[in-house]
Chain A
Amino acid sequence: MKTPIYGLMAEFDNPTALASAARRAREQGYRKLEAYSPFPIEEVNEALGQHQNRLPLLVLIGGIVGGITGYLLQYYVAVVHYPLNIGGRPVHSWPSFVIVTFEMTILFAALTTVLGLLGLCGLPMPYHPVFNVPRFALASRNRFFLCIEAADPLFDRFQTADFLTGLEPREVSEVAH
């Protein structure tokens, strides 16, 4: 169901305020809320109860796949595809294959990290409603925002606004779609 607005946003001017605001909002029972800050703040994540993170698992898998690919590539080339007597060494001279295997592991792991990050964050995202709030530009400078989304069951355009105002923000503004 389409809500008239995306949500309500409160602006704070220090991380402490944001952290406590976030905690109070959670206690109030709000679940669909998000904080915006110019740098990472662990307390806020805790306050918002954001814990689980699948990135490390992805990276582990990526790395393993990379390693296997690397070794198989060399094995195939040296043993199956075109076996040659190189300096009297056996065609399957595994010690020489360790390095490329290692590098491939690293490469794949790194790629999965970055792609995983973007994927999990849903980036790149050309448009997002929060940008409709003019002062939101400061979120990347020195302001801290808490946004309660209209999709939240407890959301009520007026009560939620009152609630946010109660948190002594610099100001509360509506976020248009």
Chain B
Amino acid sequence: MSKPYQYLDLAAVRAHLGSSRGRDYWRSLEELAESEGFQDMLEREFPRQAAEWTNDTAGRRHFLKVMGASMALAGLGACTRQPIETIMPYVRQPEEVIPGKPLFFATAVPVAGIATGVLVESHMGRPTKVEGNPEHPASLGATDAIAQASVLDLYDPDRSQTLTYLGDIRPWSSFLGAAREALNAQIPKGGAGLRFLTGAITSPSLADQFRTLLAKYPAAKWHCYEPAGRYAQLAAARQAFGQPVNTYYRLASADVILALDSDFLCTGPTSVRYAADFASRRSVRGNQIAMSRFYAVESTATPTGAKADHRLPVRAADVEAFAAAVASSVAASGAAGSQTATGPHAAFIAALVKDLAQHRGTSVVIPGEYQSTAVHVLAHAINAALGNVGKTVVYTDPLDPNPVDDFESLRELGQDMDAGKVEMLVIAGGNPVYNAPADFGFTQRMSKVKLRIHMGLYADETSEFCQWHIPEAHFLETWSDARAYDGTITIMQPLIQPLYFGRSVHEMLAAFGETPSQSPYDIVKGYWNRQHPGADFEDWWRKAVHDGIVPNTALPAKTVALKTGAVTPPRPVEGQGIEIVFRPDPHVFDGRFANNGWLQELPKPLTKLTWDNAALVSPATAERLKLQNEDLVDLEYRGRKVRAPIWILPGHANDSVTVHLGYGRTRAGRVGNRAGFDAYALRTSDAPWFGSGLAIRKAGSKFTLASTQMHYDMMGRQIVISGTVEEYRKDPHFVKERAEEPPKELSLYPGYKYEGYAWGMAIDQTACVGCNACVVACQAENNIAVVGKDQVQKMRAMHWLRIDTYHKGSPDNPETYFQPLPCMQCENAPCELVCPVQATSHSSEGLNDMVYNRCVGTRYCANNCPYKVRRFNFFLYSDWNTPSLKLQRNPDVSVRSRGVMEKCTYCVQRISEAKIEAEKEDRTLKDGEVQTACQGVCPTQAIVFGDINDSSSRVAKLKAEQLNYSLLAELNTRPRTTYLAALRNPNPEIEKA
């Protein structure tokens, strides 16, 4: 397992990069040689070497070396130049770049087609950090972990950098030639042999391009396949309403929430907004108590379930029965009082239904994206019965202009391929060879297609099976547009010219059509011009691009009638035995982010695993099958077999095994290759998300997994102080009583006075949903290195901010708490006292400063830190070699070298920058003017940072709350970071039972 972690073995990496650089530049040189622009750069820059070029081989080799270097420069040149087209900086700043002054540009991160609006920070034309777009409905200023990490994908040195035909480099022009030829052959047949395969697409302009193209080739077909698509939602809509509809929820106005196997807080393009709305109803401030009640029924334990007031682990297959029971008793309760449900969870259901019934119109039932159609239909029925539709539940037209059942679509394509009807297959984005259902045999079928074209960010598994591979432009490199969960459209603008000469799908389609040379800018702008003809278009365009949202494009709410008989009686759970549950990985998703080091090293919620996926089982099941963590097992399911390591997950449903998709990649890149196992190998189209009949056989050996946390028990210590709203109502001081803070007078020494700013942070553990966005945000903002599996497993991960997870109660269904842990910035910092060289000391504003270049690395400070938030560069972890990665770095934060300690600084660079601005304007900082990276992206605003000397600041107010306490207060470290106790709002009726 050493290969994927070459990041550690510096020598190896250096060698690898060295060689690969040479080759790549040789490639790109050949490619570039086509463009005369490069030719004359050659003349201009290297006349002498150019002469040498003709001489002996040694001379040539030397020339290539120099050329390699020059290419790096050329690359840099390309990066520090903004696109020629005018793009709109988000803030009203002078628009030309001021050195050292970052600009922000509004765009959107599309995942599986659906957009989250963001603002991207650009330093001298280099996008370095993603922030949320406060005006965007899906963001409200926050983002999820994937959006945070997307900027690293942009600079990934493993992205495909050259257009290839059967592995040989070809210029774009020769591809155009080949494509034209094939297309011309199609014209007479009306494109009968032409097929397009894309992922889910919500882009109006792209859809428009497809329409025109399909108009030209009426017999051609456009297929869509999303491995982690929202099939159930679409199918259910068709079954329930007879038409495709898009559903979303207004959690801000929901008093009672029931989640049916849904991880709505942390998964999917809506999660950020849902988390925000959810948290807005889970806050206790003084005597303002706004607590919704949240019931979760789920198979695999998720962060969402961890936030529930009542959580019920049931097998995925049994969720339908549960939903049906709820539905029937709700229907009944509608008519004649509440009827008692039957079955295993009768009491639970009775109480739940009573609660729901008491909150008609202010309750909501959320079916899991990865549940069955039937569950979705039932959810529609329950919501309808509770009169939630139009209040907490909103129906609109579908987001995708081409709403197809992904599996149907793919099956159809497969059949056509078998029938030899497909002569030209264009795969734009997506990686079907890797992620098509196992029963499709997609790979074999593809070989029947004459001309296969693949466009993607990586030369991946699919491009291996295509003659043509075209490097795709990253979304930060090109123009496009996309819809958010509610239909709101964002026009995506590029922040940088394509680093690796990638092209966008827009360009390719244009090339297939009438206007081969049209740029994405012209295409997108042209499309919108057609939508908004008229004189004011330029202003409209500027505003839309600038704001990052096209005004009033949110899809209107739509009233749909539930078809009678839509609700089918629950099918008996077919096939007993152990159930297998498929889920997209919380971080690498369906596998498309597998080569993203930040996401790979990000500890997954609850399991805290990094760099691997595992077969997750409940403690009871593990005990029954005599399984332990890291045992290798053979998972046999419907005649297919994969070998996977076991990980025991408290709270997981019994007799059920969760496997995450997206691992076991073979052509992901240096980071993603050979990490984890490929769960797609077991996944079939008829049971995309779960199915029974899994056989588990111990392989007898072990497989080392790198988890960043071993102990989940608080050992009776006051770490996460938790309680119920009731307790709080009875005795608001209960927290203070548990966390005894020694009085200031206790100290022998006179305390320091902090005049002016005194920075502090308060973290609301009731709000935190453990989504990990803050961890990646911190990594991106502070140039935190990726260390690789081996080092993580040695407990040397570098994250400055970690999310400690604790379980309480029985392992079968524990209460789970999240505790984000940055540096506490103690006023009596134990770390400072023991540093022999004054490398860490206190600033006048109460920051626990770390002076990297003074540090000699005794690690005494880390030993003496009771919170263990200090991180040490045991090796040279930062990548000092890869040019493209250097471009991502935040210029305001020094890149640490080997042998020095580092830790959270409260984003001191942001503080300084804001202070300088304020001083220029001769004023003091306003509250909220400085946001730490973690605070900025937190969807639930669980993290609040500010000046605690300013009694009107939000943080000062939070610290005044009764729920506020210091972690390990008894040590008298006087932390500046404090916590608000985690509160729950359980249903007394269930509590009793």
Interface residues of A (CB under 8 A from B): 82, 84-90, 93
B749 touches A88 (CB 8 A): yes
Assess whether B743 is interfacial by the CB under 8 Å rule.
no
B833 touches A86 (CB 8 A): yes
Assess whether B858 is interfacial by the CB under 8 Å rule.
no
B972 → A minimal CB distance (Å): 10
Q: Which residues does chain B contribute within 8 Å of A87, judged by CB atoms?
A: 826, 828-833, 842
Assess whether B751 is interfacial by the CB under 8 Å rule.
yes
Q: Which residues does chain A contribute within 8 Å of B749, judged by CB atoms?
A: 88-90, 93
**B974 interface neighbour in A85, A86, A88, A90, Cβ under 8 Å:** A88
> Taking A84-B841, A84-B842 as contacts, is the C-beta distance between A90 and B750 under 8 angstroms?
yes
Assess whether B827 is interfacial by the CB under 8 Å rule.
yes
Give complex CA distance A85, B829 in Å.
10
A158 → B minimal CB distance (Å): 72
Give complex CA distance A89, B835 in Å.
13
B residues 804-855 near A (Cβ < 8 Å) are 826-833, 835, 838, 841-844
Q: Which residues does chain A contribute within 8 Å of B751, judged by CB atoms?
A: 88
Q: Which residues does chain B contribute within 8 Å of A82, judged by CB atoms?
A: 838
**B838 interface neighbour in A84, A88, A93, Cβ under 8 Å:** A84
Q: Which residues does chain B contribute within 8 Å of A93, judged by CB atoms?
A: 749
A115 → B minimal CB distance (Å): 30
Nearest residue in B to A88 (C-beta to C-beta)?
A: B828
A-B contact pairs, 27 of them (CB 8 A): A82-B838, A84-B838, A84-B841, A84-B842, A85-B752, A85-B841, A85-B842, A85-B843, A85-B844, A86-B832, A86-B833, A86-B838, A86-B842, A87-B826, A87-B828, A87-B829, A87-B830, A87-B831, A87-B832, A87-B833, A88-B751, A88-B829, A89-B749, A89-B833, A90-B749, A90-B750, A93-B749
Give complex CA distance A89, B842 in Å.
10
Give complex CA distance A85, B974 in Å.
15
Q: Which residues does chain A contribute within 8 Å of B828, judged by CB atoms?
A: 87-88
Nearest residue in B to A84 (C-beta to C-beta)?
A: B841
SS class of chain A's interface: helix, strand, loop or mixed? loop
Give complex CA distance A93, B842 in Å.
16
The 7 closest A-B pairs by CB, nearest first: A85-B842, A87-B833, A87-B832, A88-B828, A84-B841, A87-B829, A86-B832
Nearest residue in B to A86 (C-beta to C-beta)?
A: B832
Q: Which residues does chain A contribute within 8 Å of B833, judged by CB atoms?
A: 86-87, 89
Give complex CA distance A75, B183 in Å.
85
A104 → B minimal CB distance (Å): 17
Give complex CA distance A86, B848 in Å.
9
Nearest residue in A to B842 (C-beta to C-beta)?
A: A85
Give complex CA distance A87, B842 in Å.
7
Q: Number of residues in B with C-beta < 8 Å to the partner? A: 19
B908 → A minimal CB distance (Å): 16
Q: Which residues does chain A contribute within 8 Å of B826, judged by CB atoms?
A: 87
Nearest residue in A to B972 (C-beta to C-beta)?
A: A88
Supply 11 further A-B pairs (C-beta < 8 A) apart from A84-B841, A86-B841: A84-B838, A84-B842, A85-B841, A85-B842, A85-B843, A86-B832, A87-B828, A87-B831, A87-B832, A87-B842, A88-B827
Give complex CA distance A88, B841 in Å.
9
Q: Which residues does chain A contribute within 8 Å of B835, judged by CB atoms?
A: 86
Which of A88, A89, A90, A93 has the most chain B CB atoms inside 10 A of its CB?
Answer: A88
B13 → A minimal CB distance (Å): 38
Give complex CA distance A86, B841 in Å.
5
Give complex CA distance A89, B832 in Å.
10
A12 → B minimal CB distance (Å): 59
B289 → A minimal CB distance (Å): 36
B866 → A minimal CB distance (Å): 13
Give complex CA distance A148, B830 in Å.
70
Give complex CA distance A93, B974 in Å.
19
Give complex CA distance A93, B844 in Å.
18
Nearest residue in A to B830 (C-beta to C-beta)?
A: A87
B255 → A minimal CB distance (Å): 46
Which of A82, A84, A85, A87 has the most chain B CB atoms inside 10 A of its CB?
Answer: A87
Q: Which residues does chain B contribute within 8 Å of A89, judged by CB atoms?
A: 749, 833
B735 → A minimal CB distance (Å): 25
B879 → A minimal CB distance (Å): 33
Give complex CA distance A84, B827 in Å.
13
Give complex CA distance A109, B751 in Å.
38
Nearest residue in B to A78 (C-beta to C-beta)?
A: B838
Q: Which residues does chain A contribute within 8 Å of B843, judged by CB atoms?
A: 85
Give complex CA distance A140, B231 in Å.
103
Q: Which residues does chain B contribute within 8 Å of A85, judged by CB atoms?
A: 752, 841-844
Give complex CA distance A90, B751 in Å.
8
Q: Which residues does chain B contribute within 8 Å of A84, judged by CB atoms?
A: 838, 841-842
A92 → B minimal CB distance (Å): 11
Q: Which residues does chain A contribute within 8 Å of B838, judged by CB atoms?
A: 82, 84, 86
Give complex CA distance A155, B260 in Å.
120
B834 → A minimal CB distance (Å): 8
Q: Which residues does chain B contribute within 8 Å of A90, judged by CB atoms?
A: 749-750
B749 → A minimal CB distance (Å): 5
A116 → B minimal CB distance (Å): 33
Q: Which residues does chain A contribute within 8 Å of B842, judged by CB atoms?
A: 84-88
A155 → B minimal CB distance (Å): 63
Nearest residue in A to B834 (C-beta to C-beta)?
A: A87
B residues 746-770 near A (Cβ < 8 Å) are 749-752
Nearest residue in A to B747 (C-beta to C-beta)?
A: A88
Give complex CA distance A89, B843 in Å.
13
B832 → A minimal CB distance (Å): 4
B residues 946-993 near A (Cβ < 8 Å) are 974
Nearest residue in B to A90 (C-beta to C-beta)?
A: B749
Q: Which residues does chain A contribute within 8 Å of B827, judged by CB atoms?
A: 88
Give complex CA distance A93, B835 in Å.
15
Nearest residue in A to B864 (C-beta to C-beta)?
A: A87
B303 → A minimal CB distance (Å): 36
Q: Which residues does chain A contribute within 8 Å of B844, judged by CB atoms?
A: 85
Give complex CA distance A46, B832 in Å.
60
Nearest residue in B to A77 (C-beta to C-beta)?
A: B838
Q: Which residues does chain A contribute within 8 Å of B752, judged by CB atoms?
A: 85, 88
Q: Which residues does chain A contribute within 8 Å of B832, judged by CB atoms?
A: 86-87
Give complex CA distance A142, B974 in Å.
72
Give complex CA distance A89, B974 in Å.
13
Q: Which residues does chain A contribute within 8 Å of B841, judged by CB atoms?
A: 84-86
Nearest residue in B to A85 (C-beta to C-beta)?
A: B842
A100 → B minimal CB distance (Å): 12
Give complex CA distance A85, B843 in Å.
7
Q: Which residues does chain A contribute within 8 Å of B831, judged by CB atoms?
A: 87
Give complex CA distance A93, B750 in Å.
11
Give complex CA distance A95, B50 in Å.
71
Give complex CA distance A87, B864 in Å.
12
Nearest residue in A to B843 (C-beta to C-beta)?
A: A85
Give complex CA distance A84, B849 in Å.
11
Give complex CA distance A88, B974 in Å.
10
B227 → A minimal CB distance (Å): 53
Q: Which residues does chain A contribute within 8 Å of B974, judged by CB atoms?
A: 88
Nearest residue in A to B841 (C-beta to C-beta)?
A: A84
Give complex CA distance A85, B841 in Å.
6
Give complex CA distance A93, B831 in Å.
17
Give complex CA distance A177, B843 in Å.
73
Q: Which residues does chain B contribute within 8 Å of A86, judged by CB atoms?
A: 832-833, 835, 838, 841-842
A28 → B minimal CB distance (Å): 65
Give complex CA distance A137, B137 in Å.
102
Give complex CA distance A88, B833 in Å.
9
Give complex CA distance A93, B833 in Å.
11
Give complex CA distance A15, B828 in Å.
67
B973 → A minimal CB distance (Å): 9
